[in-house]
Amino acid sequence: MTGTAPAFDATGTFDAHRPGLLRVAYRMLGSMADAEDVLQEAYIRWAETDRAAVSIPAAFLRRVVTRLCLDHLKSARVRRETYTGPWLPEPVVEEEPVEDVTLPLLLALERLSPLERAAFLLHDVFGESFEDIAAAIGRDTAACRQLASRARANVRSERPRFAVDRAHGMAIADAFFQASRGEGLANLGALLAEDVRFHSDGGGKRPAVARVLEGADEVVRAHLALERLRRAPSALVRYGFVNGLPGFVTREPDGILQTTALLVEDGLIRAIYVTRNPDKLRHLEDSLH
């Protein structure tokens, strides 16, 4: 007589898949805090599931997380439409570059519908089959192919074009840190591409540039103005890769952390992304203690 298959252990199985599920949720939502909330809800649903009936926990859990993310995005999009100033995803700082979804691609994903975002990430980034994606988002396989194709066309220009060498990336980050402060400002222009763009996210909670600056001259002038207003020097906390881009974490004169990420192409900085919103930096603060 064939017995019933044993149920997967709730906590042990979930913890084993947690890092991958967190990557999915963060890339879907652009917020580590929201991604953690989704995983908490996913665990509750997993614990309440008849796990003896689940043959592949990874597929089941990814399906749950995807659906929870889609539900969340309905309200998140409304919040971002009323956001003060440029919006950036919460920064994730790592020692090594992670090149599947860099910061420019995360921003490009914001232009997609939630279903397009899910289809693109699950297929192009995480390698899910369209059959599994169809089960996750409640659409047929053909529709999922179309969703991913439309998404791919929209974000093609923001896909990573080459690997970031760690040593070179950190050297650029160090040069920018030194050149963007104090006497080093005279050298800042030499690091920037002519069409460089500067994004600063304060979320209305800390001073930040209210629009995206464009062009090396404008970016240099903005840094000169900021330096005149600076009460005290910022303190370097660490270098690292911020959402896959070389950058650094600083503690500013007001005592709050700030992250700076640099998009580097052909040896020049093409975009600068500064996150100042304290709500988006809380998880980094916690990691330092």
- Are the CB atoms for 133 and 59 separated by under 8 Å? no
Residues 177 and 118 in one domain: no
pLDDT at 10: 84
* Residues 67 and 136: beta-carbon distance below 8 Å: yes
* Amino acid at site 15: D
Say what the pLDDT of residue 115 is.
94
pLDDT value of residue 268: 93
- Residues 30 and 152 grouped into a single domain: yes
Tokens describing residue 38: 């989704």
**53 and 134 housed in the same domain:** yes
The boundaries of the domain holding residue 274 are 166-287
Which of 158, 175, 195 lies at the terminal end of a domain, its last residue?
A: 158
Cα angle 115, 121, 124; round to 5: 120
* pLDDT given for residue 83 in this prediction: 82
Q: Identify whether 106 is part of a domain.
A: no
Domain boundary among 94, 128, 158: 158
Q: Within this chain, do residues 283 and 197 fall inside the same structural domain, yes or no?
A: yes
Which portions of the chain are predicted below pLDDT 50? 1-3
Task: State pTM to two decimals.
Answer: 0.86
Q: What is the pLDDT of residue 186?
A: 84
